[in-house]
Structure 1
Amino acid sequence: MTTYTTIPDLNDDAESLREIRHHIHQHPELAYEEFATSTLVAEKLAEWGWQVTRGIGGTGVVGTLKVGDGPRSIGLRADMDALPIVEQTGKPYASAMPGKMHACGHDGHTTMLLGAARQLARTKRFSGTVHLYFQPAEEYGVPSGAQKMIADGLFERFPCDAVFGVHNHPGMPPGVFLFRKGAFMAAGDKVTITIEGLGGHAARPHLTVDPVVVAASVVMALQTIVARNVDPSQPAVVTIGSLHAGTANNVIPNSATMELSVRSFSEDVRALLKRRISALAEAQAASYGAKAVVKYEEGYPVVVNTDAETEFAAQVARELVGEENVVGNADILMGSEDFAFMLQQRPGSFLRIGNGAGEDGCMVHNPHYDFNDKNLPIGAAYWTRLVERYLSQ
């Protein structure tokens, strides 16, 4: 009977994995600046006997390990970049880089995959080829790290029959796995709207076209799109995350600029949102005598998991942590993820692992967030077992 990796097999590695994760956390690097992180990854992989290729998609790293003569291959992906956030956790390993922080858990994703790399090299209980894709710039937007790695020939140079990725999931206990077949995470687009008015003295507003007033009106009008234009059965989000205008209280500025995050799950809704946002902003501005210039950037597509690979990945999780710790049909998520580009190229699945519930489940992209170290041996064991099962002899 074939023996597959269990979580206790990684218990002895837990402390060293924590040390790696804390080091990466303390030295966060933004998109396409992951020089120290990629060096650490490359050095660890080489130390454990993996063939290492650097510079894929800029700062990306690929580790390759072939065992036996099995014809199949598998790809596992972890993201490495941090966010431009000032950390407020107060942890002893908090960011030493002002204004930069691992506020989305990519330090943990990278470390879990490194833990699997060490275990796979140590046990070699598979026959076939494993490629580990350590990706830069997931947070960047277009062009993202996944796009750049793919453009650099990722799947031609390091081919796989299926590709898998993971993200931590605040709100669920550590070690709980979440899966969903089909569409799982939303497409995400970025919109910049510049309101061009006519500036002047705050005491003589009748001689101006106040872009701040226009922008406020546009913000409120945009809220009607999802409520009144999108089919209520179709998920969609329009969020104005940034609004800037003026530099002094007694000056009406010439312009105001807002940035939107737009999420959707279908191409029809995505097209509707683009059409209505542009038309509404332009018409609303015109009604005040101003002009709206709309820049619409299509970003990450919908994350679509293939059925067979998702069922396989969920079954591996059930074997590892038990049926009670696996959510087989998780709710859709309105967040976006550039792993979607990889899933457009290869069958595969993007899964989630709980990062903590209640007070321990701080949302990502928050200055108080931290990856849960309890997941390090669990995630490493999961990736190892997934490879062993996929490339079973």
Structure 2
Amino acid sequence: VATRPGTLMSAANAITVHLTGRGGHGAMAQVEGNVVLALSHLVPRLGEVVAGLSFEGTDCACSAGVVRAGTANNVVPRVATALGTLRTFTPDHLDVALERLRRLVAEVGSAFGVAASFELGESAPAVVNDTAVVARVLDVAARLVGHDAVLVTPPVAPSDDVAELLGRVAGCYLFVGGALADGSSGMHHGPDFAVD
């Protein structure tokens, strides 16, 4: 069992980056106006948006999970899109990250001659545990599974919309460890995740 008082998990903001260019034949694809080339330069740089931003030793995160462009192998499309996530722990982190994202998107758009913008989608606040409730949970967990199996964890970058509930009612979000008999188990959302 692992949890902590105060901020346990980051806030999450869905981001969508839109690029629009002139498109054209793949055999005549120039750098200017090529949204695929622009997107291929932007996506690996998303980490720059949160560089140096951390909370109690845990880094903020920004990454893309979906990249879309084109439908034919010999056509440079007019539109490309990246969908991603921005994870921050404080309102100040979010403000800094959004300004950096704005500058990055504008820079890439200008460098490749494409119209570039981004928008925020769904969001969830940081998961913040109530200190008194956490103390009780840690005490009960230690009696149930033993002190060695109870951890006060550092903050983590994943998020959960239970934050909405914890913003209204004092509570405690916690992690319960699990693994297969051989001790293996992948991370949530990963292909190797398994619970026995």
Q: TM-score, normalised by structure 2?
A: 0.90
Instruction: Give the residue type in structure 2 aligned to 1:280.
Output: L
- CA 1:321–1:206 in structure 2 vs 1: closer, same or farther (change >3 Å)? closer
Of the three residues 129, 137, 150, the one matched with 1:326 is: 150
After superposition, give the CA deviation of every residue in 1:85-113 in whole Å (9 maximum; x if it has no partner): xxxxxxxxxxxxxxxxxxxxxxxxxxxxx
Please tell me whether the aligned partners of residues 49 and 98 of structure 2 are also in contact (alpha carbons under 8 angstroms). Answer: no
- CA 1:371–1:231 in structure 2 vs 1: closer, same or farther (change >3 Å)? closer
Asked if 1:337 corresponds to 2:160, the answer is yes
Q: Name 1:254's counterpart in structure 2.
A: 78
Please tell me whether the aligned partners of residues 218 and 285 of structure 1 are also in contact (alpha carbons under 8 angstroms). Answer: no
Asked if 1:275 corresponds to 2:99, the answer is yes
Instruction: Give the residue type in structure 2 aligned to 1:188.
Output: A
Q: Name 1:238's counterpart in structure 2.
A: 62
Q: Name 1:349's counterpart in structure 2.
A: 172
Instruction: Give the residue type in structure 2 aligned to 1:324.
Output: D
Instruction: Give the residue type in structure 2 aligned to 1:183.
Output: T
Give the Å deviation of 1:207. 9.3
After superposition, give the CA deviation of every residue in 1:121-176 in whole Å (9 maximum; x if it has no partner): xxxxxxxxxxxxxxxxxxxxxxxxxxxxxxxxxxxxxxxxxxxxxxxxxxxxxxxx
Q: Secondary structure at 1:353's aligned position in 2? A: coil
Unaligned 5+ segments in structure 1 are 1-176, 373-393
Give the Å deviation of 1:200. 0.6
Q: Tell me how far apart the structure 1 counterparts of residues 157 and 96 of structure 2 sit (CA, whole Å).
A: 17
> Between the two proteins, what is the percent identity of the paired residues?
28
Instruction: Give the residue type in structure 1 aligned to 2:168.
Output: Q
**RMSD in angstroms over aligned alpha carbons?**
2.1
After superposition, give the CA deviation of every residue in 1:37-63 in whole Å (9 maximum; x if it has no partner): xxxxxxxxxxxxxxxxxxxxxxxxxxx
Q: Secondary structure at 2:186's aligned position in 1? A: coil
Unaligned 5+ segments in structure 2 are none
Instruction: Give the residue type in structure 1 aligned to 2:123.
Output: G
Q: TM-score, normalised by structure 1?
A: 0.46
Q: Secondary structure at 1:345's aligned position in 2? A: coil
Count how many residue pairs are aligned between Structure 1 and Structure 2: 194
After superposition, give the CA deviation of every residue in 1:202-231 in whole Å (9 maximum; x if it has no partner): 122249611011111212332322236x36
Q: Tell me how far apart the structure 1 counterparts of residues 58 and 83 of structure 2 sit (CA, whole Å).
A: 23
More strand by share: 2
After superposition, give the CA deviation of every residue in 1:284-343 in whole Å (9 maximum; x if it has no partner): 21222111121112511111001100000111111112212211x212111111111111
